[in-house]
A and B are shown apart, each in its own frame.
Chain A
Amino acid sequence: MPVETWLYFILGFMIVGSVIALEIRDILSSVVAIGVVGLGVSVAFLFLQAPDLAIVQFLFEIFAMVILIRAFVKKDYHMETPARVHGILVGVSILTLVAVLVASIPVFRLLPAFGEPLMETSRHYVDHGLSDTGAANLVSAVILDYRAYDTLGEVTVLFTAVLGTMTILRIRRAKNGGGKDA
């Protein structure tokens, strides 16, 4: 089967997973359904021949699952009662989405084929990546040589995340009256 067929199948799987995650009553099942959606993204990356992204997406899905389960499952959880206009709202939303989809069919006809054409920049990377950087893995060559500034920004984001969480912990420790070292 061509890649597109598999992608349609995975996309449908992910849509079903997200609807279940939204509609199910039990919070643990909802978290598991979110994990299923992330797994679908990971498999889609594998079919699109991007194993680097598939690895990172798969690992982060596990990581996010652990955090979500540890953070939310045992907490008191406010169940929202559906409003009376809920059904009308859902119907109007679905109708609007279908109308937008039908109206955009001519636009879909104009779109180029999937993955085509290769951009000029990407073609330069594919052609000269190995000779410019010497890295056999082209993804590494792009993120750490051609686009190293972006990676520097990512490192800064992670550093700020740790700073923020550490600050929260310090505030809590001061509030609880403990001055001991962690």
Chain B
Amino acid sequence: MNDPKHGMTLIVKTVTRITVWLIILYGIYLILHGHLTPGGGFGGGVIIALAFLNVLLAYGRSFTKNWLNLKFMEDIEAASATLFLFMGILGIALGGRFLTNFLGPGKPFTLFSAGHIPILNILIGVKVGMCLFLVVWVLAALRTGEGGEE
């Protein structure tokens, strides 16, 4: 894990190891409270992508490749897009129109309110987080010409 040949110095690696989970937690908080406070699925997803990017920059490619399951990330990225469509079709089935808020408003200012908005926020957060990290991963491979070695 602390291979000095890859990534940055020990100081950067230690700080990253401590802070990366806090960053991910903040992203999850923004996603879950998207219907109550500023933030939402998009901002929270970008924070999660930046946390993974932080690990990629600090520890290097080979460690990140072992740490993250990239195939699984691709899968849940595609699955969240499909689930977004599925929520829309569920709106047809239960509410009569595409993407209808079929769950009802609920009690405002509580976590479980606003119908399908939190669910869609979670789907968008997962989608954006995985998508942006994968795009950066591929772009970095193009720059260093490592695409063929994986």
Band of interface residues on B: 35 or more
Q: How far is the CB of B12 from chain A (nearest CB, A)?
A: 14
Could you tell me if A161 and B135 are in contact, using CB atoms closer than 8 angstroms? yes
Could you tell me if A71 and B139 are in contact, using CB atoms closer than 8 angstroms? yes
Nearest 6 CB-CB pairs, A to B?
Answer: A176-B148, A134-B105, A135-B114, A51-B38, A172-B147, A135-B35
Query: B interface vs A, CB < 8 Å?
Result: 30, 34-43, 46-47, 49-50, 53, 57, 70-71, 74, 77-78, 81, 84-85, 88, 98-99, 101, 104-109, 113-117, 120-121, 124, 127-128, 131-132, 134-136, 138-143, 147-150
In Å, the complex CA distance between A16 and B148 comes to: 43
Determine if A121 is an interface residue (Cβ-Cβ < 8 Å): no
Determine if A48 is an interface residue (Cβ-Cβ < 8 Å): no
In Å, the complex CA distance between A135 and B38 comes to: 11
Q: How far is the CB of A134 from chain B (nearest CB, A)?
A: 3
List 5 extra interface pairs beyond A156-B81, A178-B150, CB under 8 A: A55-B43, A59-B50, A67-B136, A134-B105, A162-B134
Partner of A140, one of B78, B104, B117, B132: B117
By secondary structure, the B interface counts as helix
Q: A137-B38, A141-B35, A182-B70 are in contact. Are A52 and B43 (CB under 8 A)?
A: yes
Could you tell me if B113 and A155 are in contact, using CB atoms closer than 8 angstroms? no
Determine if A7 is an interface residue (Cβ-Cβ < 8 Å): no
Q: How far is the CB of A132 from chain B (nearest CB, A)?
A: 7
In the bound complex, residues from chain B placing their C-beta under 8 Å from that of A59 are 43, 46-47, 50
Partner of B40, one of A133, A140, A158: A140
Chain A 64-107 near chain B by CB (<8 Å), digits 1 or 0: 00110011000100000000000000000000000000000000
Q: How far is the CB of B76 from chain A (nearest CB, A)?
A: 12
Partner of A63, one of B46, B106, B109, B134: B46
Could you tell me if B117 and A145 are in contact, using CB atoms closer than 8 angstroms? yes
Could you tell me if A182 and B35 are in contact, using CB atoms closer than 8 angstroms? no
Q: A63-B46, A132-B105, A133-B117 are in contact. Are A155 and B39 (CB under 8 A)?
A: no
Q: How far is the CB of B113 from chain A (nearest CB, A)?
A: 5
